[in-house]
Every structure is written in structure tokens, then in C-alpha cells.
Amino acid sequence: MTGIVQRDEAIKAGAEGSITVAVLGRKLVIPPDNKSIAELAPKENARLRSELEPADKDLIIIGFGKDPGRALAGALAAVLSLQKA
């Protein structure tokens, strides 16, 4: 998984983009190169962990944009694209 398909679907649905975060073992990482969020953005790493309490092999998809409704629609479209794979 690269997260690119999810980003593209989010944009098609009206978001400005999306970020896919995978949980591998005890780490939050960004595919496809699995860079650690703890190293890239420690504050966001702590926030995602405390608010979502992710477990191993979970995915977190964050849609973003200036319009909250479009960001949400983008995130949902990105999630639905996972069923096609």
C-alpha cells in the first residue's frame, strides 16, 4: 500500500488531499517507505495515539482541506477505496 490511491480518491471527492498512517507493531508510519511519525512529527504522533488508541495493523486516514465537509468526504472516499483493492 502506498496511500496514493487513497489520496487520489480524496481529491476526487473534494478534499485537498489525505494522509494515510499505518500502525506497524508499536509504530505509526507513513506508507510506502514507512517513515516513523514519532521521528517526523512527535507532537502529532502523541495526539493520534492518545485520541485514537490505534492497534497493530490499523490504518488512519486523514482528509484535509479548507472546507471541513469536503475534507470529511475525501477521507471517506479514501477509506472506501480500500475495499476496491
pLDDT in tens, 53-70: 999 999 999 999 999 999
- 85 pLDDT band, cuts 50/70/90, is low
CATH number for 73? 3.30.1360.30
* Residue with more model confidence, 47 or 83: 47
* 8 A C-beta contact, residue 60 and residue 30: no
Q: Which domain holds residue 64?
A: 4-84
pLDDT in tens, 27-37: 999 999 999 99
Q: What angle do CA 48, 53, 58 make, to 5 degrees?
A: 90
* 8 A C-beta contact, residue 61 and residue 1: no
pTM confidence score: 0.88
Q: What is the number of structural domains in the chain?
A: 1
C-alpha cell at 81: 477505496
- 1 pLDDT band, cuts 50/70/90, is confident
